[in-house]
Amino acid sequence: MKVAIIGADGQLGSDLVRVFSESHDVIPLTIQDMHVEDFEQVRTVLHKIKPDVILNTAAYHKVPDCETHQDLAWQVNCRGALNVAKAAEELQAINVYYSTDYVFDGLKNSPYIETDAPNPQSVYAATKLMGEYFTRNYSTKHFVIRVSGIYGKIPSLIKGDNFITAILKQVEAGKKEIRVVDDEILTPTPTLEIAMNTLPLIQTGAHGVYHMTSEGQCSWFEFTQVIFETLNIRTPLVRCSVMDFPSVVKRPQYSVLENANLKQIGMNRMSHWREGLIRFLNTNDG
């Protein structure tokens, strides 16, 4: 099976390359190879490769910047998804689009399942949702995979540090205390687990929308507590509120995803968030 991975040098893309390369012919694609917002470029590159599977991780996901660079967010997250979907359909390739828990408004206060109605609260979230719709409506063999709070070995190309590395840099800088919000609830998930769960999922042929996150739920404060306990960090940890960090972006304060569709087809292999985090910290290998 020939697999084209768009965004192959990113946080999620790099783990997809690692996992899929073990058993398939992987063609890694970066922004140097093509810009997803350019349809003729996308079409030319993908038709030359003729992949059986396209994994599309390309995204403009610096959430605050999406509010001020709306055209760019639209071009990458919406038009990019449309272009890939159209090329995938021409090739009759499986098209996998990675989306986000941010498509929900956070008002449900219980885990969201795939059939819950999205209600994006930011430009980033709205453009990712539109990317979902383009993927679903323009490519027959599609998988839309929603993820949450992802972290991996390779830094995000746009955002840089993930939450873990950002916290550890504060510790290394000698901050007297680390302040972390305790009222934003989600399920942080290692990118390696997402990659390992994507591979068997696409082989089922059960096309559709899937949530793919670690099990359980936590606040960022609780997540940080486990980081500190595991790494024996003594820096004082202070709980605070999202209200203490004013932002131009409205984020869902509760965005826990339930892997309902994965469980329905017997394909949920995601570990609990605590287990995944401790394994990642102890091995730095996911």
pLDDT at 84: 98
- Which region holds residue 272: left if phi is over 0, alpha if psi is between -120 and 50, else beta? beta
Cα(132)–Cα(246) distance, integer angstroms = 29
List of the chain residues with pLDDT < 50:
285-286
Domain boundaries, the chain: 2-154+188-215+256-270
pLDDT at 285: 44
CATH number 1.10.10.10 given to 2-154+188-215+256-270: no
pLDDT at 286: 41
Cβ 93 vs Cβ 141: under 8 Å: yes
Per the listing, tokens 């470029």 go with 41
pLDDT at 230: 96
What does the pLDDT look like over 226-257, one tens digit per residue? 999 999 999 999 999 988 877 768 889 999 99
Cα(113)–Cα(90) distance, integer angstroms = 31
CA count, 13 A, side-chain hemisphere, 149: 28
Per the listing, tokens 């009222």 go with 183
pLDDT at 157: 59
DSSP per-residue string spanning 71-135: HHHIIIIIIHHHHHHHHHHHHT-EEEEEEEGGGS-S-S-S-B-TTSPP---SHHHHHHHHHHHHH
Cα(36)–Cα(11) distance, integer angstroms = 18
pTM of the predicted model as reported, rounded to 2 decimal places = 0.95
